[in-house]
Amino acid sequence: MSLRKKITDMTKAPLIDEWAQRREEIRFKTPPQNHHRLFHLLHPKQFDRTFLDQICELTTDIRTLAKTAEGQSHLQKLLAHKRAMLYFTQPSTRTFLSFNNACHILGVKTNEIRDSSTSSEIKGESLEDSIRTFSSYVDVIIMRTLVKGLAENAATLMDSISRPIPIINAGSGKDQHPTQALLDIYTLERSLTHRGGIDHKVIAMMGDLSRGRTARSLAYLMKNYQDVELIFIAPPGFTMGQDILEHLDQHEIRHTQTTKLAHVIADLDAIYVTRIQSEHDATDGSRDINLEDYTLSRSNINLMKNDAVIMHPLPRGPELSPDIDDDPRAKYWRQERNGMWMRAALLIRIFGAENMLYEIAR
Ligand code: CP
pLDDT digits (tens, 9 = 90+) for 232-253: 999 999 999 999 999 999 999 9
137-148 average pLDDT score: 95
Q: Is residue 3 part of a domain?
A: no
Total domain count, the chain? 2
Whether 119 maps to a domain, the answer reads yes
Domain holding 73, by residue range, is: 13-176+337-360
Instruction: Report CA 257 to chain centroid distance, whole Å.
Output: 23
- Judge if the beta carbon of residue 171 lies within 6 A of ligand 1: yes
272 and 352 inside one domain: no
Split at pLDDT 50, 70, 90, the class of 361 is confident
Residue 256: exposure state from Cβ atoms within 10 A (0-12, 13-18, ≥19): exposed
Q: Is residue 195 part of a domain?
A: yes
Q: Does 265 lie in the same domain as 140?
A: no
Q: How far is the CA of 304 from the centre of ligand 1 (A)?
A: 26
- Do 41 and 162 lie in one domain? The reply is yes
Strand partners, 145: 172
Asked if the model's pLDDT at residue 78 lies above 90, the reply is yes
Q: Is the CB of 180 under 6 A from ligand 1?
A: yes
| Residue 8 in domain | no
Cβ(105)–Cβ(71) under 8 Å? no
Comparison of pLDDT for 195 and 2, the residue scoring more:
195
Residue 157 lies in a domain: yes
CA of 250 to the centre of ligand 1 (A): 30
Q: Name the residue at shortest CA distance from atom 5 of ligand 1.
A: 92
> Per residue in 299-357, pLDDT tens?
999 999 999 999 999 999 999 999 999 999 999 999 999 999 999 999 999 999 999 99
Question: Quick one: pLDDT at residue 7?
Answer: 42
Q: Is the dihedral of CA 8, 13, 18, 20 positive or negative?
A: negative
How confident is residue 5, by pLDDT bands cut at 50, 70 and 90?
very low
Same domain? For 20 and 158 the reply is yes
CA 358 to chain centre: 24
CA distance 157 to 72: 35
Average pLDDT over residues 173-202: 97
Atom of ligand 1 nearest to the CA of 97: 8
Q: What is the distance between the alpha carbons of residues 292 and 321, in angstroms, rounded to a whole number?
A: 11
Q: Are residues 22 and 160 in the same domain?
A: yes
Domain assignment of residue 68, yes or no: yes
Model pLDDT for residues 40-57, shown as the tens digit of each residue: 999 999 999 999 999 999
Mean pLDDT, residues 127-133: 96
Please give the model's pTM, rounded to 2 decimal places: 0.93
Contacts 24+ apart (CB under 8 A), 19-26: 19/64, 19/67, 22/60, 22/61, 22/64, 23/64, 23/65, 23/67, 23/68, 23/71, 23/361, 26/61, 26/64, 26/65, 26/358, 26/361
CA angle 96, 98, 103 (to 5 degrees): 95
How far does the centroid of ligand 1 lie from the alpha carbon of residue 95, in Å?
5
Domain co-membership, 328 together with 189: yes
Average pLDDT over residues 286-295: 80
Q: Are 79 and 106 in contact (CB under 8 A)?
A: yes
352/318 same-domain check: no
- Whether residue 4 is predicted with pLDDT greater than 50 in this model: the reply is no
What is the average per-residue pLDDT within 132-155?
96
Strand pairing category for 167-172 and 202-206: unpaired
Best mutation site among 87, 94, 274 for ligand 1 pocket (most ligand atoms within 8 Å of CB): 94
Separation of alpha carbons 89 and 74, rounded Å? 33
CATH number of the domain bearing residue 199? 3.40.50.1370
Intra-chain end-to-end CA distance of the chain, in Å: 41
Q: Who's near 248: CB < 8 A, 6+ residues apart?
A: 219, 222, 223, 230, 255
Atom of ligand 1 at shortest range from CA of 170: 3
Domain for residue 214, yes or no? yes
Lowest-confidence region among 43-47, 76-80, 144-148, 225-229: 144-148
Assess whether the C-beta atom of 92 lies below 6 angstroms from ligand 1.
yes
Please indicate, yes or no, whether residues 323 and 257 belong to a single structural domain of this protein: yes
pLDDT band at 85 (very low <50, low <70, confident <90, very high): very high
Atom 6 (ligand 1) nearest CA: 92
* Whether residues 258 and 310 fall in one domain: yes
State whether the beta carbon of 94 lies less than 6 angstroms from ligand 1: yes
User: Residue 3 C-alpha to ligand 1 middle, in angstroms?
Assistant: 33
Q: What pLDDT shows up at residue 34? A: 58
Lowest mean pLDDT among 76-80, 217-221, 283-287, 308-312: 283-287
Residue 4 lies in a domain: no
Q: Is there a single domain that holds both residue 345 and residue 309?
A: no
Indicate whether 288 pLDDT > 60: yes
| CB count in 10 Å sphere of residue 168 | 25
Instruction: Work out which ligand 1 atom sits closest to the CA atom of 171.
Output: 3
Residue 173 has pLDDT above 70, yes or no: yes
Q: Supply the pLDDT for residue 21.
A: 86
99 beta partners: none
**pLDDT score for 258:** 97
Find out whether the beta carbon of 315 lies less than 6 Å from any atom of ligand 1: yes
Strand, helix or coil for residue 167: strand
Are 269 and 204 a contacting pair, CB within 8 Å? no
The protein residue whose alpha carbon is closest to atom 4 in ligand 1 is 94
Residue-averaged pLDDT of the chain = 92
What pLDDT shows up at residue 1?
Answer: 42
> What residues are labeled active site?
94-95, 123, 144, 177
* 88/198 same-domain check: no
Sequence-separated contacts (24+) of 24-31 with Cβ below 8 Å: 26/61, 26/64, 26/65, 26/358, 26/361, 27/361, 27/362, 29/61, 29/358, 29/361, 30/358, 31/354, 31/355, 31/357, 31/358
User: Tell me, what amino acid is at 225?
Assistant: Y
pLDDT tens for each residue of 54-67: 999 999 999 999 99
Residues 182 and 171 in one domain: no
Per-residue model confidence (pLDDT) at position 2: 45
- The DSSP secondary structure of 277-290, one letter per residue, reads -GGGTTTS--TT--
* 93 touches ligand 1 (CB under 6 Å): yes
The tally of CA atoms less than 13 A away on the side-chain side of residue 60 is 21
From 93, 97, 272, 332, the mutation candidate for ligand 1 (largest count of ligand atoms within 8 A of CB) is 93
pLDDT of residue 302: 97
Which residue's alpha carbon is at the smallest distance from atom 1 of ligand 1? 313
